[in-house]
Structure 1
Amino acid sequence: MTEKQKRFADEYLIDLNATRAYKAAYPNVKKDSVAAQAASRMLRNVKVKSYIDERMEEIKTDKTANAQEVLEYLTAVMRNEITEEVVVVESIGDFQTKAKTIEKDCSVKDRNKAAELLGKRYRLFVDKVESDVNQVVIFEGENELED
């Protein structure tokens, strides 16, 4: 893979805009239409595609929470196992105050929201809707006599 192809791939990974990435890697290309076509060909290049796939996998595993992490976090919030730091202002006398941070439990509102999100995930809040559908279907021309 050439240095410019690598630069294109790295630029592409920033915002997944192939046209912009191509113009950044190849500054002599000025027209968007030319850059878009060339970028499309570049994305089909086997070496470039495999490099982008590898980098995407690295980014995904390092920085993106998976479903299990999200469920564990929501469960911990719902069970009030997580605390948060908040800044409070406390009076120290003579109309003077001092800011300090304290650990605080999650609010009931946050715990309820976590429980709601978990409930949606496990389909606990499915609304039951009863419907009585009696509809007449008429097919035109079905009972007409043929000549």
Structure 2
Amino acid sequence: MKLTPKQQKFADEYIKSGNATESARLSGYKQPHVQGSQNLEKLSVKTYIDERMAEIKSKRVMGYTEAVEILTSIARGELKETVVVGTPIGVEEVKKEADLKTRISALKEIMKRYPGNDKLVEQQIRKLSAEADIAEANAREVTDNGTANEIRIIGFDRKAELDERSETS
């Protein structure tokens, strides 16, 4: 059943105030106290109010897509936060993008929502960590004059191999 314009006005006012008598009065009913309660008993009016309330409620609650969009804008540095900074003449509000720690946290939260990528990301992190360890080890082996003490190939000590060859020759 479709609502009359007066019933729709009543329902919209009731959603705003929660007061049936006042809503009926604002909608133009001659006996607001009686007609307000009668309208709330009508199935079509109740259904309309319930549907609109559900719609309003769903707009208030953040959905999955909106949450990921916000996390993405944080990770990209697009979302700015206001911070208060002390200056020689007082304080000032400044807009700044999220720091790296916050951006990394946002990236982690996004990645949790894509579980199929976990193994790939895990392996990439493992590879980067291994490469960093190798670079750090090689940097420690460099002497003060900038030359390497020994030649290293990943997983093999080339100097020991060359020493063994010279001993057997």
Q: TM-score range by the shorter chain?
A: 0.3 to 0.5
Structure with the higher helix share, 1 or 2: 2
Scaled by the length of structure 2, the TM-score of the pair is 0.41
Larger radius of gyration: 2
